[in-house]
Amino acid sequence: MKFLVLFLFVFVAPLSTWAFENSITPEKGVELVKTKKAIVLDVREADELTSGMAEPARWVPTSSFRSNGPEWKKFLGEMASQKDTPVVVYCAVGGRASTIVRSLRKQGYTAYNMGGFRDWKAAGLPVKNP
């Protein structure tokens, strides 16, 4: 039993903190778009876009991020002169967004994990068809 408690404390607790680090609600994300001209970034894959995407979002699939592909390189190239512009990232549920937010922050960007597209829709925020 002591081993289980130690395991949870040492390995699982930091993961839960990591998952919520740098998170933002969809409503706060929209507020950032309006006030600081933040960029909303949808990192879901193409087959996940059938349900739509956030109205202000740009699309760069996670697969392009992982492979350092052309879409990701283009995004970073466009953002190079805008490092002070916040980037609000979402995927389906927030896991992939968290990975990309950490990477962007390591590169000097201000980035937030907005969670999943379902959170955006649940908040009643505008959706577009890609």
CATH for 97: 3.40.250.10
- The count of structural domains within the chain is 1
Pair 114, 120: CB distance under 8 Å: yes
Mean pLDDT of the chain, nearest integer: 86
Does the pLDDT value for residue 19 go beyond 70?
no
Cα angle, residue 64 at apex, residues 96 and 27 outer, rounded to 5° = 40
Average pLDDT over residues 48-57: 95
| pLDDT given at position 1 | 60
The structure tokens listed for 74 are 């283009």
Taking 70 as the threshold, does the pLDDT of residue 5 lie above it? no
Burial class (CB in 10 A: 0-12, 13-18, 19+), 42: buried
Q: What pLDDT, in 10s, does the model give residues 106-124?
A: 999 999 999 999 999 999 9
Mean pLDDT of 56-83: 95
pLDDT of 93 above 50:
yes
Whether residue 123 is contained in a domain is answered as yes
**pLDDT band, residue 13 (cuts 50/70/90):** very low
Query: Residue 89 sits in which domain range?
Result: 23-128
Residue 8 belongs to some domain of the structure: no
What is the rounded average pLDDT of the residues 16-31? 75
Is pLDDT of 46 > 80?
yes
Are 62 and 100 within 8 A, CB to CB?
yes
Q: Name the strand (E) or helix (H) holding 61.
A: none
Alpha-carbon gap, residue 44 to 46, rounded angstroms: 7
